[in-house]
Amino acid sequence: MDTTEETQKQHKGKKRKKNRGPRRWLINLWVALSLLGIMLIIVGSAAFYVWNSLQPTADGEAKQVTIARGMSANSVADVLEENGIIKNGFVFSYFLQFKDEGSRFQAGTYELTPGMPIDSIIAKLNAGDIIQEETVKFTIPEGLTVLQIADKLAAEGIVDRTAFLELAETKRSWGDAEAARGIPDSAALHKRLEGYLFPDTYEMKKGSTEEEILIRLLTETDRKLATLPDDWQDTMEASGRTLHEILTIASLVEREVVVDEERALVAGVIYNRLSLPMRLQIDATVQYALDTPKQVLSLADLEIDSPYNTYKIDGLPPGPIASPSLASIQAALYPADTTYLFYVTKKDGTQTHLFAETFSEHQRNIARSEQSAK
C-alpha cells in the first residue's frame, strides 16, 4: 500500500477516537445526574412523608384517651393513632426517639383533640395533665369496728353493705397489703379484717368497688406502720408478740382510752396482767362480743360465752376489737413501765382514769370516781 494512503487512514482513526471521548463523558454525566435526581426525589418524598405524618390531623371533637401504667412509647403512639390524635404512630414513635421523649409520659386519662400540634401532645403527656376524675371523700373514725365501717359507708352510698362484709370475710391476699397477710386462719375470729382497716380520711375515685376500698384501707395500715420509730419491728420481736397481737392490744387501748397521755399507761396495765397471768376483764371486749354496744353492761353480759369475753377467757381475745389509731399502736409497742394492774374512769367529765397497783387501792379509786360524779 502507498505510504501516503496509510498515513491518511491512521489520521482518520485517531480523529474518530478523539470524537468518541466527549460523548462518553456526556453520557456518564447524564447517568449521574439522573441517579442524583432519583435519589433527591426519594429523599424528598421520604422527607415530605415524615413531615406530613407529623402534621396535625384534621380538627375534630375532643376525645378521652387512656394511657395505661407501664405502657411503652411505641404503644402510646399506637393508641394516639387509633384515636385519630396523630396521623402515623410509626413515624411518631421514631420522632420520640429522635427527640429523646416518651420516657416521661404519665399514665392516666387525657382529653386530647384531633388537630393538636405534636409538641402540645408531648407536653401534655409529660406533664400528666389528665382529666380529674370525680372523687368521693369518706372518714373512718378511730375505734370503729368492721360492722360499723360497713354501716357508715353504706349509709353514705359508697358501698353495698352486704358485699362489703362478705368480701371482708374472704380468706385471700389483698394486693400489696402486707400486714393483712399475718391474719391467722382461725375460726374464732369474729371479723377477719377487724383492726386492719386503718381509721383515716380517704379520697377515692367515685364508683370504686368494695374490693378497691378494702385494699385502700388495708394498705394504709402498712403506710402508717412505716411511720413508726425505726426499731418498732425489733421491739415487737423482743416482746414476743406478733403484729396481730400488737394490733389486738392496740384496739383494746383504743376502745378504753380517750386522752392520748394515758394510752401507754393502759397498755402497761394490759401487759402487766398478761404477764401474771391475770384476766384482762375489759368491758370493751364484751361490748364487741355483743355486736350492738350497750350503755351499761349487766352482770349477765359479763357471763356471755364468747372467745372475746375477757372476763371469761385467759390472755388476749382472738383478734382486734376495733380499728386502732397510730397512737394506740405505738402505745401497744411501747407500753409504760409501771406496776399498775387496775384503772377506773373518772366520772368528772375529764374522761381520764385513776390507776392502782392493788385491788384495795382500785376499790378506793372507784369510790373516788363515784364521789367526783356527785
264 with 241, same domain: the answer is: yes
**Confidence (pLDDT) at 286:** 95
Sign of CA dihedral 45, 50, 52, 57: positive
Residues 188 and 92 in one domain: no
| 32 within some domain | no
Taking the C-alpha atoms of residue 77 and residue 15, their distance in angstroms, rounded to an integer, is: 67
Crossing angle (nearest 10°) for helices 263-275 and 243-256: 120
Quick one: pLDDT at residue 121?
93
Last residue of a domain, one of 161, 194, 225: 225
End of a domain among 109, 127, 145?
Answer: 127
For 176-202, what is each residue's pLDDT tens digit? Answer: 999 999 999 999 999 999 999 999 999
| Spatial separation of the C-alpha atoms in residues 124 and 198, rounded to whole Å | 36
* Residue 344, all three cell numbers: 377506773
**9 in any annotated domain:** no
Residue type at 110? Y
Buried b (16+ CB within 10 A) or exposed e, 302-313: eeeebbbbbbbe
pLDDT (0 to 100) of residue 22:
63
Q: Which residues of 81-91 are buried (b: 16+ CB within 10 A; e: fewer)?
A: bebbbbbbbeb
Whether residue 255 has pLDDT greater than 70: yes
Q: Which three cell numbers mark 94?
A: 421514631
pLDDT for res 354: 95
Q: Within this chain, do residues 92 and 120 fall inside the same structural domain, yes or no?
A: yes
Cell of 179: 400486714
278: pLDDT confidence band, cut at 50, 70 and 90?
very high
Which residue, among 79, 57, 59, 60, has the nearest Cα to 125 in the 3D structure? 79
Whether residue 142 sits in one domain with residue 122: no
Task: Measure the CA–CA gap between 132 and 110, rounded to whole angstroms.
Answer: 9
Percent of the chain with pLDDT over 70: 92
* Digit-coded pLDDT (tens) for 306-346: 999 999 999 999 999 999 999 999 999 999 999 999 999 99
CB atoms within 10 A of CB 320: 31
| Bond prior to 184 in cis (omega within 30° of 0) | no
In a domain, 207, yes or no: yes
Predicted TM-score (pTM) of the model is 0.72
**Among 160, 256, 180, 175, CA closest to 221:** 180
| In a domain? residue 37 | no
Q: Kindly tell me if the per-residue pLDDT of 37 is higher than 50.
A: yes
Domain boundary among 75, 100, 127: 127
Q: What is the mean pLDDT of the chain?
A: 89
One domain for residues 252 and 293: yes
Pair 268, 336: CB distance under 8 Å: yes
Question: Does 240 lie in the same domain as 336?
Answer: yes
The count of structural domains within the chain is 3
Beta strands 63-67 and 108-112 are: antiparallel
In a domain, 55, yes or no: no
Per-residue pLDDT tens digits for 192-240: 999 999 999 999 999 999 999 999 999 999 999 999 999 999 999 999 9
In sequence order, the 6+-apart residues with CB closer than 8 A to the CB of 263 are 253, 257, 327, 328, 330, 331
Per-residue pLDDT band for 1 (boundaries 50, 70, 90) equals very low
Cell of 62: 375532643
Residue keyed to cell 365501717: 149
CATH number at 107 reads 3.30.1490.480
Residues 290 and 275 in one domain: yes
Same domain, 283 and 351: yes
- Report how far Cα 283 is from the mean position of its chain's Cα atoms: 36
* pLDDT value of position 10: 53
Residues 278 and 366 in one domain: yes
Q: How far is CA 253 from CA 208, 245, 257, 356, in A?
A: 32, 12, 6, 17
Asked whether residue 76 is domain-assigned, the answer is yes
Overall residue count recorded for the chain in this entry? 374
Cβ contact 195:217 at 8 Å: no
User: Percent of the chain beyond pLDDT 90?
Assistant: 69
Q: State which H helix or E strand residue 345 sits in.
A: strand 342-345
**Residues 236 and 291 occupy one common structural domain:** yes
Does any domain span residue 122?
Answer: yes
Reported in sequence order, the residue ranges of 223-298 that DSSP labels E, i.e. its strands, are: none
If asked whether residues 98 and 140 sit together in one domain, one would say no
Q: Check: CB of residue 179 under 8 Å from CB of residue 198.
A: no
Contact 117, 136 (CB under 8 A): no
Do 286 and 242 share a structural domain?
Answer: yes
**What is the residue range of 106's domain?**
63-127
